[in-house]
Chain A
Amino acid sequence: MSSLSRYIETAGALLLAVIWISPLVFAFWAAFHSTSDAVNFNLTSAWTLDNFRTAWDGAPWLRYFLNTFILVTVILIGQFFVTTLAGFAFAKVQFPGRDVVFILVLMQLFILPEVLIVENYAMVSRLGLFDSILGVGMPYMASAFGIFLMRQAFKGVPIELHEAARVEGCGWFGILWRVYVPLARPTYLAYALVSVSTHWNNFLWPLIVTNSPDTRPLTVGLSIFGAPENGVDISVISAATMMSVAPLLIAFLVFQRQFVQAFLRAGIK
Chain B
Amino acid sequence: MAEHVNIERRRQAIYGWLLLSPAAILLTTFAFYPSLATFWDSLFSRETRRRPSEFIGLENYTDLFADPTFLVVVKNNLIYAGVTIPVSIGIALGMALWANSKIPARGFVRTAYFTPTVLPMIAAANLWLFFYTPGLGVLDQIGSLFGLPSVNWLGQPETALWAVIIVTIWKEAGFFMIFYLAALQTIPEDLKEAADIEGASRWTYFRRIVLPLLMPTTLFIMVNALINSVKLIDHLFILTKGGPNDASKLILYYIWEMAFAFFDAPHAAAMTIMVLLVLGIVAAVKFTILDKRTHYQ
Residues of A within 8 A of B (CB): 6, 9-10, 12-14, 16-18, 20-24, 26-27, 30, 39, 41, 81-83, 85-86, 88-90, 93-96, 98, 101, 104-123, 138-139, 141-142, 144, 147, 172, 197, 200-204, 207-208, 218-219, 222-223, 226, 234, 237-238, 240-241, 244-245, 248-249, 252-253, 256, 259-260, 263-264, 267-268
23 contacts between A and B (CB under 8 A): A6-B103, A14-B105, A17-B108, A18-B112, A26-B130, A26-B138, A82-B26, A89-B15, A93-B12, A94-B13, A95-B16, A95-B17, A109-B283, A111-B35, A115-B255, A119-B269, A123-B34, A142-B25, A142-B31, A219-B123, A237-B126, A248-B119, A267-B224
A81 to B252, CA, bound (A): 31
Are A245 and B179 in contact (CB-based, < 8 A)? Answer: no
Interfacial chain B residues near A101, Cβ < 8 Å: 20, 24
Contacts known (A253-B111, A264-B182); A238 close to B126, Cβ less than 8 A: yes
Interfacial chain B residues near A18, Cβ < 8 Å: 112
**Contact flags B172-214 to A (C-beta < 8 A → 1, else 0):** 0011001100100000000000000000000000000000000
Closest to B233 in A: A204
Are B98 and A245 in contact (CB-based, < 8 A)? Answer: no
A109 to B178, CA, bound (A): 21
A252 to B117, CA, bound (A): 10
Q: List residues of B (3-31) whose CB comes within 8 Å of A's CBs.
A: 9, 12-13, 15-17, 19-20, 22-27, 29-31
Interfacial chain A residues near B33, Cβ < 8 Å: 119, 123
Are B27 and A144 in contact (CB-based, < 8 A)? Answer: yes
Per DSSP, are chain B's interface residues mostly helix, strand or loop, or mixed? Answer: helix
**Contact flags B128-166 to A (C-beta < 8 A → 1, else 0):** 111101001010010000000000000000000000000
Are B179 and A267 in contact (CB-based, < 8 A)? Answer: yes
User: How many whole Å from B47's CB to the nearest CB in chain A?
Assistant: 13
A243 to B27, CA, bound (A): 35
Are A219 and B108 in contact (CB-based, < 8 A)? Answer: no
Interface segment, B56-64, B72-80, B273-281? B273-281
B215 CB-CB contact with A under 8 Å: no
A111 to B279, CA, bound (A): 7
User: How many whole Å from A107's CB to the nearest CB in chain B?
Assistant: 7
User: How many whole Å from A115's CB to the nearest CB in chain B?
Assistant: 5
Are A237 and B129 in contact (CB-based, < 8 A)? Answer: yes
A105 to B33, CA, bound (A): 13
Per DSSP, are chain A's interface residues mostly helix, strand or loop, or mixed? Answer: helix
Q: List residues of B (220-242) whose CB comes within 8 Å of A's CBs.
A: 220, 224, 227, 230-231, 233-234, 237-238
User: How many whole Å from A172's CB to the nearest CB in chain B?
Assistant: 6
User: How many whole Å from B20's CB to the nearest CB in chain A?
Assistant: 5
Closest to A103 in B: B287
A211 to B12, CA, bound (A): 45
Are A24 and B99 in contact (CB-based, < 8 A)? Answer: no
For chain B, the bracket of interface size reads 35 or more
Closest to B120 in A: A201
Closest to A96 in B: B13
Interfacial chain A residues near B24, Cβ < 8 Å: 101, 142
Interfacial chain B residues near A264, Cβ < 8 Å: 178-179, 182
User: How many whole Å from B103's CB to the nearest CB in chain A?
Assistant: 5
Interfacial chain B residues near A98, Cβ < 8 Å: 16
Nearest 5 A-B pairs (CB), nearest first?
A: A95-B16, A142-B26, A119-B34, A201-B120, A17-B112
Are A23 and B131 in contact (CB-based, < 8 A)? Answer: yes
Are B30 and A115 in contact (CB-based, < 8 A)? Answer: no
Are A204 and B234 in contact (CB-based, < 8 A)? Answer: yes
Are A203 and B220 in contact (CB-based, < 8 A)? Answer: no
A26 to B272, CA, bound (A): 38
Are B127 and A26 in contact (CB-based, < 8 A)? Answer: yes
Contacts known (A117-B255, A123-B34, A204-B233); A23 close to B170, Cβ less than 8 A: yes
Interfacial chain B residues near A107, Cβ < 8 Å: 283
Most buried by A among B19, B112, B136, B287: B19
User: How many whole Å from A123's CB to the nearest CB in chain B?
Assistant: 6
Are A267 and B220 in contact (CB-based, < 8 A)? Answer: yes
